[in-house]
Chains A and B, each alone.
Chain A
Amino acid sequence: MFKQLETIESFVTPSNMKVTVLYKPDFKQQSMIIGVPFGGIHSNVLNKQGHPYHSGLAHFLEHKLFESESGDIMAAFSSLGANVNAFTSYQETCYYFNTTSNFAQSCDLLLNLVSSCTLSEESVEKEKGIIVSELAMYDAMVDQALVKNMYQALYHNHPIRNDIGGDADNVNAIFKDELVDAFERFYHPSLMHCVCVTNQSIEEVKTIILSHPLAQNPSLPPQVVSLPIEEPNEVALLNVSKTMDIEESKGIYALKLNAHSNNPMENMKMQFAIRFILEASLSEMNPQYQEWIDEGLINDFFDMDVDVSTTYSYVAFICEHEHLDHVFAWLDRALPSLECDEVSLNQLKRRYLGMSLKALNKPSSLSKQMIRYALNDLDFFDVLHLFQDMSLDDIQQAKMSLLSSLKNVSKVKIEPIE
């Protein structure tokens, strides 16, 4: 008997919302995610009065969108058996649900959720306590503190210096008008992307989405005016040292790169190329890795992060050591001699292909990965080709970019309280 294969289709609604549907007939879990290009770094956007938004505004709005005139949206999802949630990152805000039943009704609810913003001053005030509590929770986490201090060390003016959720002062200064202003500017269907991973046919999903009012009427999105980001190449702070109630010192050695451009595909390619050369040189792929472990320079906490966005790019090495200066000195020595040969490159291509294919088996995380690509005008499967086609020349270019940034280093230490 013919078995329907997994398939994918993208379409644009009359309202210009971009939709991707991944049909996975053998999976029970289904999900829908809607992303809006409004995140933590958009605190340089000007409001109606011409003032920049408060930091944490996108995150605050994410919290408040779960409030509706027609009742409790959370309760409506729960009644359908769907888990609904949302997250705000630096670049975007995303709303999603996972379910094994009542997919069509849940889709309708999620589309409703991002369609309107009905707030009262009273409810906005009440939310402040919850958000401040959330920020306090993150402040108590050493890994969050490392990243926060790293951004503030690397950047002079870039809005990424500010926490995604803002700080207590900014949160307390946000009122209803500013939230509505942001909603009207950014929650326009033509700026939204929607990804569904479902066992329902693509035609059925199309019908569900296209019959929703959010999909129907075309209109122009409101104008968004932002303050220009004037960011020097040099880091803001060479060294940062803080204390927390922790057991072992932790640090970040961060390179401020100048590897980004306005082209998301180029940025993604550069991000993979940098990641490849770093993994080839500083992961277990390097025979010396065991020596570094034996010497106690690194342990299983050691990690690397690469981010090449349209307005910033950096590499971070996250480490744990009683004497962080030893690890930083080792990185000072290791980074100028990064290498990736053809054997390593091919191994990395296979490894990344394997990881990407594995991701296809998890509908909930797959939809999150796909929406992030979609909001950057990237396609999940194009990205697979991107690293499959990676050449040694691309790696060399990434190496040059890293080498040219070796003077732009911030070293962040968080040490135990004496």
Chain B
Amino acid sequence: MNDETQNDAFVSWALKVLTHLLMSEETLKEAKINVFQNIKREQENSVKHALALSAERFLPQSYGLKVEGDESVMNLTLDELVMFQSKLFQQPTACFQVGQLDQGLVMNHLKKSILNQDKTSLSTYTLLNPLPLDRQSVSKVSSQSVLIKTYATTIDYADERYLALRVGAIALGSLPTSLLFTTVREKHSLCYFITANVIAFDGVLNIITGIDKENVNQVSQLIDEQWEAFKEVSDELISQAKLMMLNSLRSSDDDVMSTINLMYASSLKNEVFDLNRVESLILDLSKEDIIDAMNQCVACNEFVLLGETHV
């Protein structure tokens, strides 16, 4: 939206919607059904279901919470929603606008609105408190098993070592040349997908793969071996991981929502996102920084969703 009059109208409309809950018993009923059906669909997806089950062990830590909720969502009342809405606006609110707009005019408009608050951003990121390593398995009628290995990163989102952790996770398991992909998939033909993902605001690194149930132990051992191999990771792989991360960050410039997400994430650290600065920080990371960040990860759970022909 590049027209300033339209933009002002949009901001006014958005604020009205946010501050006056436009919900009736009928719309609440429909929304609850939709949410509940979505929860059930998540359970039908083997990987999502396995992730939710594997995280349960960490309750009441935030990582164990199901963002989408559970069947109790059907008990929500209109009064509860209105109360929640009112509390929500007592919290710090971040507002981002991206577009070909006059920055001064936009800021002026926002300053006059309810969004102009003198509140400090909450640190909504946390760290997973590592639990003793444990293994659980649950059976499901499925053609494939899912193995999830969970690690506490012990490096939070605001930590200066966070970028090193992200680059390390890419080199470990987010590239077609990563240690996990080249070993578990390419060398041993044991899976189609295997990834290592950092959940930034929970302080978690998950390794997820879909495999045959007969190969669970072998794959688990190979994953452990790649953590060891990471201590000798090649300069070339580190360089590839850095480039991929830079590519992803630069691409966000083409997409409004990606830009807002990066801005929002930085605002949690009370920073303004600066692509050039982040690029420099990534390029300046040494291999030792990255190995050291990955060495901070603590293995704390192994979960297997066992795909069976019948349960």
Which A residues have a C-beta under 8 Å from some C-beta of B? 27-29, 72, 74-75, 77-84, 98-101, 126-131, 133-134, 136-137, 139-142, 244-248, 293-294, 296, 299-301, 320, 361-363, 417
Contact A130 B192 (CB under 8 A): yes
In the assembled complex, the Cα of A129 lies from the Cα of B143 at a distance in Å of 14
Q: How large is the interface on B (under 10, 10 to 19, 20 to 34, 35 or more residues)?
A: 35 or more
In the assembled complex, the Cα of A129 lies from the Cα of B239 at a distance in Å of 30
Residues of A within 8 A of B191 (CB): 130, 133
Which parts of B260-308 form the interface with A (CB within 8 Å)?
A: 307
- List, sorted by A's number, 6 A–B pairs whose CB atoms are closer than 8 Å: A29-B251, A81-B247, A130-B192, A133-B192, A248-B41, A301-B41
**B43, B253, B254, B255: which has the most chain A beta carbons within 10 Å?**
B254
B222 vs chain A, min Cβ distance (A): 14
In the assembled complex, the Cα of A127 lies from the Cα of B191 at a distance in Å of 10
Residues of B within 8 A of A131 (CB): 192
With A247-B41, A301-B41 known to touch, is A133 a contact of B212 (CB < 8 Å)?
yes
Contact B240 A78 (CB under 8 A): yes
A417 vs chain B, min Cβ distance (A): 6
Residues of A within 8 A of B38 (CB): 300
Q: Please tell me if B13 contacts chain A, counting CB pairs below 8 Å.
A: no
Taking A83-B247, A100-B250, A136-B210 as known contacts, 19 extra A-B pairs with beta carbons closer than 8 A to each other, sorted by chain A number, are A72-B177, A77-B176, A78-B240, A99-B247, A101-B246, A133-B192, A133-B210, A133-B211, A134-B193, A136-B144, A136-B212, A137-B144, A137-B210, A140-B142, A244-B44, A245-B140, A247-B40, A247-B41, A293-B30
Q: Which of A77, A79, A137 contacts B193 (CB 8 A)?
A: A137
- Considering the complex, give the chain B residue whose CB is closest to the CB of A100: B250
Contact B254 A81 (CB under 8 A): no
Q: Please tell me if B137 contacts chain A, counting CB pairs below 8 Å.
A: no
**What does DSSP make chain A's interface, helix, strand, loop or mixed?**
mixed
Residues of B within 8 A of A299 (CB): 33-34, 37
Which B residues have a C-beta under 8 Å from some C-beta of A? 26, 30, 33-34, 37-38, 40-41, 43-46, 140-144, 175-177, 185, 189-193, 210-212, 236, 239-240, 243-244, 246-247, 250-251, 253-255, 307, 311
In the assembled complex, the Cα of A28 lies from the Cα of B255 at a distance in Å of 10
Contact A79 B239 (CB under 8 A): yes
With A78-B244, A133-B192 known to touch, is A139 a contact of B176 (CB < 8 Å)?
no
Contact B250 A140 (CB under 8 A): no
In the assembled complex, the Cα of A362 lies from the Cα of B40 at a distance in Å of 32
In the assembled complex, the Cα of A142 lies from the Cα of B142 at a distance in Å of 10
In the assembled complex, the Cα of A84 lies from the Cα of B177 at a distance in Å of 11
Residues of A within 8 A of B33 (CB): 296, 299
In the assembled complex, the Cα of A119 lies from the Cα of B38 at a distance in Å of 44
- Considering the complex, give the chain B residue whose CB is closest to the CB of A78: B240
- Considering the complex, give the chain B residue whose CB is closest to the CB of A85: B176
With A79-B243, A101-B243, A247-B40 known to touch, is A133 a contact of B144 (CB < 8 Å)?
yes
Residues of A within 8 A of B177 (CB): 72, 74-75, 78
With A78-B177, A320-B37 known to touch, is A139 a contact of B143 (CB < 8 Å)?
yes
In the assembled complex, the Cα of A361 lies from the Cα of B257 at a distance in Å of 12
Q: Which of B46, B143, B254 contacts A28 (CB 8 A)?
A: B254
Contact A127 B189 (CB under 8 A): yes
Contact B144 A78 (CB under 8 A): no
Q: Which of B34, B211, B254 contacts A29 (CB 8 A)?
A: B254
Q: Which of A129, A134, A247 contacts B190 (CB 8 A)?
A: A129
B42 vs chain A, min Cβ distance (A): 9
Contact A81 B246 (CB under 8 A): yes
In the assembled complex, the Cα of A211 lies from the Cα of B13 at a distance in Å of 55
Residues of A within 8 A of B143 (CB): 136-137, 139-140
B189 vs chain A, min Cβ distance (A): 3
In the assembled complex, the Cα of A343 lies from the Cα of B46 at a distance in Å of 44
In the assembled complex, the Cα of A126 lies from the Cα of B189 at a distance in Å of 6
A358 vs chain B, min Cβ distance (A): 11
With A129-B189, A362-B255 known to touch, is A101 a contact of B240 (CB < 8 Å)?
no
Contact A142 B44 (CB under 8 A): yes
Residues of A within 8 A of B210 (CB): 133, 136-137, 140
